[in-house]
Amino acid sequence: MSLIAVITASIPWLWTQVSLCWNSLPTLAIFLIVFALLLHCWKRKRWSRCPPGPAPFPFIGNVLLFDRKNPHGCIQHWGAKFGPAVLLQAGWRNIIILNGFKMTKEALGQNAENFIDRPPCSLLKVVGHGKNCQGVVMAKYKDGWKEMRRFCVSTLKNFGMGKKSLEKRTSEEAGYLCSEFKSTEGSPIDPHDIIFRAVGNIICSLTFGDRFEYTDETFLRLMHLVEAIMKGLTIIMPQILSGVSWLSYLPGPHRKVQKDFDKFSIMMQDFVNKHKKTRDPTGPRDFIDAFLDKIEKDQGNPESCFREPNVRCIIFDLFVAGTETTASTILWGLLYLVLHPEVQKRVQEEIDTVIGKVKSPTMEDQPNMTYTSAVIHEIQRCADIAPVVFPYYTTKDTEVGNFVIPKDTTVFNHLSAALKDETMWEKPHEFYPEHFLDANGQFVKREAFLPFSAGRHACPGEQLAKMELFIFITSLLQHFSFCIPENCPRPKEERVYALTVSPSAFQICTIPR
- Looking at residue 8, what is its pLDDT? 46
- Give Cα 134 to chain centroid, integer Å: 16
The pLDDT tens digits for 392-401 are 889 999 999 8
Q: How many residues does the chain have?
A: 513
- Looking at residue 309, what is its pLDDT? 82
CB-based contact 135:317 (threshold 8 Å):
yes
How is residue 410 annotated by DSSP?
E
Give the residue from 431, 348, 357, 417 showing the smallest Cα distance to 387: 417
The pLDDT tens digits for 422-448 are 999 999 999 999 999 999 999 999 999
For 34, the enclosing helix (H) or strand (E) is helix 25-45
Q: How confident is the model at residue 2 (pLDDT cuts 50, 70, 90)?
A: very low
- Looking at residue 205, what is its pLDDT? 92
CA 105-371-462 angle, 5° bins: 40
CA 280-294-465 angle, 5° bins: 90
CB-based contact 369:376 (threshold 8 Å):
no
Task: Extract the runs of DSSP E, i.e. beta strands, from 165-271.
Answer: none
- Looking at residue 475, what is its pLDDT? 97
* pTM for this prediction: 0.87
- Looking at residue 1, what is its pLDDT? 45
Q: How confident is the model at residue 68 (pLDDT cuts 50, 70, 90)?
A: low
The pLDDT tens digits for 282-311 are 888 999 999 999 988 888 787 788 888 888
Q: What's the chain's average pLDDT?
A: 84
More confidently predicted of 111 and 251: 111
More confidently predicted of 72 and 334: 334
- What's the Rg (C-alpha) of the chain? 25
Q: How confident is the model at residue 7 (pLDDT cuts 50, 70, 90)?
A: very low
The pLDDT tens digits for 165-213 are 789 999 999 999 999 999 998 899 999 999 999 999 999 999 999 999 9
The pLDDT tens digits for 454-475 are 888 888 888 899 999 999 999 9
Burial environment of residue 338 by CB neighbours within 10 A (0 to 12, 13 to 18, 19 or more) = buried
Mean pLDDT of 22-44: 57
Give the residue from 267, 271, 268, 260 showing the smallest Cα distance to 225: 260
- Looking at residue 33, what is its pLDDT? 60
Q: How confident is the model at residue 508 (pLDDT cuts 50, 70, 90)?
A: very high
Mean pLDDT of 135-163: 79
Q: How confident is the model at residue 230 (pLDDT cuts 50, 70, 90)?
A: confident
Q: Compute the distance between CA of residue 18 and CA of residue 9 in angstroms, rounded to an integer.
A: 15
Q: How confident is the model at residue 352 (pLDDT cuts 50, 70, 90)?
A: very high
CB neighbourhood size of 221 (10 A): 13
- Domain regions of the chain by residue span: 47-512
More confidently predicted of 122 and 13: 122
Residues 6+ apart with CB under 8 A from 129: 121, 135, 138, 313
Listed range (25-34, 68-77, 263-272, 478-487) with the worst mean pLDDT:
25-34
Q: How confident is the model at residue 332 (pLDDT cuts 50, 70, 90)?
A: very high
Could you say which of 1.10.630.10, 3.40.50.300, 3.20.20.70, 1.10.390.10 is the CATH number of the domain covering 47-512? 1.10.630.10
Whether the predicted pLDDT of 6 surpasses 70: no
Give the residue from 283, 282, 274, 231 showing the smallest Cα distance to 68: 231
For 289, the enclosing helix (H) or strand (E) is helix 287-297
- 3-state SS, residue 413: strand
Whether the predicted pLDDT of 412 surpasses 80: yes
More confidently predicted of 479 and 157: 479
- Looking at residue 428, what is its pLDDT? 94
Listed range (114-123, 185-194, 222-231) with the worst mean pLDDT:
114-123
Cα 373 to Cα 326, 351, 433, 442, distances in angstroms? 16, 11, 9, 10
- Looking at residue 254, what is its pLDDT? 73
Q: Compute the distance between CA of residue 158 and CA of residue 300 in angstroms, rounded to an integer.
A: 26
Whether the predicted pLDDT of 21 surpasses 80: no
Single-letter residue type at 175 = G
- Give Cα 136 to chain centroid, integer Å: 12
CB-based contact 38:46 (threshold 8 Å):
no
| The dihedral sign for the CA sequence 236, 328, 483, 169 | negative
More confidently predicted of 488 and 141: 488
Give the residue from 193, 183, 199 showing the smallest Cα distance to 220: 193
CB neighbourhood size of 40 (10 A): 17
